[in-house]
Each structure stands twice: as C-alpha cells, then as structure tokens.
Amino acid sequence: MTDDKDLRGATAVSGLGITEQGKVYGHSSSWFAAEAIRLALEDAGLEKSDVDGLLVSQGVAPLPGMGGVDLQSHLGMTNLRLLTGMQVGGATAATMIQYAALSVYHGLANHVVCIFADAPLREGRGGGGSYSGSGGAGYMPPGMSGLYTAFGMFGVNARYALAARRHMGMYGTTNDHFGAIAVGQRAWAAMNPAAQQREPITLSDYHASRWVAEPLHLLDCCLVSNGAVAVIVSSAEAARDLKQPPAYIWGMGQGHPGDLKRAGWDAETQTGAPIAKRRAFEMAGIDVGDIDVCQLYDCYTYTVLVTLEDYGFCEKGEGGPFVADGKLAPGGSLPTNTGGGQLSGFYMWGMTPIAEGIVQARGQGGERQAEKHDVVLVTGNGGILDHHSTLVLSPNRS
C-alpha cells in the first residue's frame, strides 16, 4: 500500500472552471462542459494539449457517448491516456478527484480534467420536475417499483423527506434546526456574486416557504441549475509552477453503505461518512477538530445536519441543537458552505462543495473568505445517503 505520508499533499487542484449557473438557456450539457473546461485551463494556465486525463460525470441531461466519453472527440482532446465516465450520484465529483489524484501520483497522467455538466432546465418549465421521477400520467413501472407510483411517492424530495422525518422521530430534530442551516447558507450566498439566490432570509421566511414534501419546505431543497464545473488535478510540483495557488489534496476516502430497505439498517439516519472519514483523516493526519472550513454536500438542509453528526462534529442525534446557534453561518465558529452551497449557490451535484472548497483553500473567497482555511473538508453524497466521498484540501503542501 502507498505510504500515506507520500500521498498526502503529493497532488493538488491546479485549475477550476465554473460556468454561469442557473437559468442559463439555449445550451446543451456538452456546451457547458466545454465552457467549464476552457475556463479551468485558462485558470491554471494550461493548454488543451497538456490535458492527458479526462474523467466525466453527467447529471440528468446526458452527455454524448458512453457515460459522456464522447466529450473527448467533441473537444478534440487527442493526448488522453486516461478516460472514463463515472457515476455514484452526488458522491461522484469527489471520487473523480480521488481517481485523478491517484492516477497522477502513479504516473498514469499529468493533468487530469474532472468535469460535471448538466442542463435540466428548459425555458418556461419548472425546475422541480427534472427530479420528480413521476414519469407523468400513464407511466407505471412494472412490479414492485410500481408501488412508488401507486402510493404517490415521487422523486428525490419525497425520499429525503422520509429520511429527515426519521431523524426527527428518533432524535427530536425540528424544522427550526433545518431552518438555521438554510438561513446561514443564504447569508453566505449573499456574499457570493456567482450564487443564484442572494436575498437574505430569516427563520420566519423559511417557515413561510411552501411545503414540498413535509417535513421539507421549499427552502430545505437545493436549487436546480444548468451549468458545468471543471477541476484539474496535477502533481504538487506541476501545480506549484502554474497560475493559481495549489489546493493540495491531503486526504481522501469513500463510504458506500447503500440501502438494504430492512430492519436494523439505518439508511435514513446514517451516511457513509464514518467509513470515508476514517481513511481520509488518517491520510491527512487530522482530526475533526483541525477542520477550519466545511463544504458539505447539501442537496437538503437535513443532509448537512446528518453529515456533521457522522463526521463527529457532534454526537449522533445532536445535529439539530448543534446547528441551531448559527455556528455554520457567517461569523460562526464553523464556516460551512461558504458559497451558499446547493441550497442557495448553485446545484452542480458534488462539484458545488468542491468548487467552493478550492476557492476557500486558495484564499480567493473575497468577502466570504474564511479567515482560517488551512484545512478544508469537502464531502459528496449520492443516492439517498447511500454513497459518500471525502476530500481534505489545504493551501499548504505539508
């Protein structure tokens, strides 16, 4: 096995490209992907011909080819030594960075582009439908899958509502707790020019926002965005000679508990974070107390709360009281989702927390920059808390 001491800080994020996000119409996911990659190369000071690795992840609007690998010919990347499409839902982005880092470390490639692109929004059509999964009138999947349709349980919102409700039932978590997360992240978004929702909100605004699927209000749910994010991973040495301050990759891990849908399996209140964290923190040589800034996957407010518990920021079940005092918000003791996250910033699946993690590690957050940012925790989450990925980033090589 590779010695952790060698891997820690051996690779870095050298480039970041974020397209315009949100209701940006008239473009395909391929177009967004190309634009993000162009921006990332420009950011790093690299040429297209320098790229010898490409890892692709697609959202609900597919990219061309098997898992999106036709992006290679679309973009005329002829020097690739590493190419594949990847998919573990919202955990994918951080896992792409992990495979990129390992590939660079072991000499399979020098500069690996990790790209996520999506374009679910169409002009004049609501965004929520993109993820509703109802299939519309007349659609009935055969067999047991049809029960979801028969009982009116549609889409990801409905599933996360079940998870949040289970946590509330077990631990007394309340909508006030979820609301504190929404309010805090909106306050961060107000300081992010690239965020989709920047109007400050109060806890009463949160409670007044319509129910989507109880216990989830509209303001518990992430945005839907058209756009793309590209991240370039290079060796620490190469990254140091490029345009941007490197965001060194200190630690990485994954945890995939899945969901067995049966007694004794707490898929609704337990994530893969404890498994992913063990390896990532060991590699990074850190403990939870060393973390300065968090970028936690936040498809729902509840996801943030349960993730904090599973990293050990607080005891299991104590996530509600832990977040209630606003410690995640600007001015709080644990700056979290400082770009507004997926709730208020933009929704690029796992790339949302990664992009802001890179910004913070580099110290480029401007008004919203966390004062202390030596250790940045980034998390990914796929399925209904079924898949988890961890990255630890730092502006310091060691």
Q: What angle is formed at CA 300 by the lines to CA 384 and CA 277, rounded to 5 degrees? A: 65
Three-class SS state of 210 = coil
Q: Name the helix (H) or strand (E) containing 78.
A: none
Our finding on whether 385 is near another protein (CB under 8 A) is no
Contact window for another protein (CB under 8 A) among 82-90, 234-242, 258-266, 323-331:
258-266
Active site residue 171: no
**Distance (Å, rounded) from C-alpha 119 to C-alpha 209?**
26
Q: According to the 3-state scheme, what is the secondary structure of 268-321? A: CCCCCHHHHHHHHHHHHCCCHHHCCEEECCCCEHHHHHHHHHHCCCCCCCCHHH
Given 160, 248, 302, 347, the catalytic residue? 347
153 vs 191 by CB, closer to another protein:
153
Our finding on whether 60 is near another protein (CB under 8 A) is no
User: Which residues in 325-352 are b (16+ Cβ under 10 Å) and which e?
Assistant: ebbbbbeeebbbbbbbbbbbbbbbbbbb
Cα distances from 189 to residues 84, 330, 380, in angstroms, run: 33, 10, 20
66 vs 140 by CB, closer to another protein:
140
Q: How far is the CB of 314 from another protein (least distance, A)?
A: 21
320 vs 365 by CB, closer to another protein:
320
Q: What angle is formed at CA 336 by the lines to CA 354 and CA 195, rounded to 5 degrees? A: 65
Our finding on whether 169 is near another protein (CB under 8 A) is yes
Q: How far is the CB of 302 from another protein (least distance, A)?
A: 12
Per DSSP, 67 falls in state G
Q: How far is the CB of 208 from another protein (least distance, A)?
A: 14
161 vs 286 by CB, closer to another protein:
161
Active site residue 99: no
Q: How far is the CB of 387 from another protein (least distance, A)?
A: 17
Name the phi and psi angles at 191, rounded to 5. -100, 5
Our finding on whether 215 is near another protein (CB under 8 A) is yes
Q: Are 212 and 221 in contact (CB under 8 A)?
A: yes
Our finding on whether 80 is near another protein (CB under 8 A) is no
Q: How far is the CB of 267 from another protein (least distance, A)?
A: 9
Site string for another protein, 261-280 (x = CB under 8 A): xxxx---x------------
Given 206, 297, 302, 311, the catalytic residue? 297
The residues with which 232 forms a beta bridge, in sequence order, are 15, 113
Interacting residue ranges for another protein, rule: CB under 8 A: 128-129, 132-134, 136-137, 139-140, 142-155, 157-158, 161-163, 165-166, 168-170, 210-216, 260-264, 268
Catalytically annotated residues: 297, 347
